[in-house]
Amino acid sequence: MPRRSGDCMRCLVIFAVVSALVVCGPALYWKFNKGFVGSTRANSLCPPCVCDCPPPLSLLQIAPGLANLSITDCGSDDPELKQEMEKQFVDLLTEELKLQEAVADEHSRHMNVTLAEAKRVASQYQKEAEKCNAATEICESARERAEALLIKERKITSLWEKRARQSGWEGE
């Protein structure tokens, strides 16, 4: 067993090293290939870049409509959403309470059904236990009677053997 544990540990270490190389390998390759920041090798391979790139686009240039949105405009085109937003705060709280009450009623109903089932099963087990106890008492009384009869039989047998010895009769 210790050998398997050692083999497993060795496999895990190898897996960890390979995973680390797969994750870090490309970054290390480019670091060594291009050289480290500030090294003379990096400056000698690449001349400085001259870029005529346009400045990066801002969010307003990409989607100008986003700047005009505000919270009050939200959902103004959707009639269902607009109607929902116009509801009074109390109505929303009342609706939430009704939903929570419905959930609580469902949980209560489920609990009552589960409790009734548990009571039924417990009653069934109680009846079975009473049957077992009655059968055990019957068996115990039968065992006691059999034990008493066995003691009686031994006494009778012992008495017969004593009389047989006194009379001189020997049985096979």
Whether residue 41 lies inside any domain: the answer is no
pTM of the model: 0.35
45 inside domain: no
Residue 48 lies in a domain: no
CB of 82 within 8 A of CB of 76? yes
Within a domain: residue 10? no
pLDDT lower than 50: segments of the chain: 1, 41-42
At residue 77, the pLDDT reads: 73
What is residue 42's predicted lDDT score, i.e. its pLDDT? 47
- Assess contact for 109 and 116: CB atoms under 8 A: no
Containing structural domain, residue 99: 84-167
For residue 55, tell me if it sits in a domain. no
What pLDDT, on a 0 to 100 scale, did the predictor assign at position 137?
94
Residue position matching structure tokens 């005529």: 52
Q: Compute CA distances 110 → 56, 104, 122, 123, 130, whole Å.
A: 60, 10, 18, 20, 30
Is 161 among the domain residues?
yes
User: Are the C-beta atoms of residues 106 and 112 closer than 8 Å to each other?
Assistant: no
pLDDT at 147: 95
Domain count, the chain: 1
How far the first Cα of the chain sits from its last, in Å, is 65
| Domain contains 117 | yes
In a domain, 50, yes or no: no
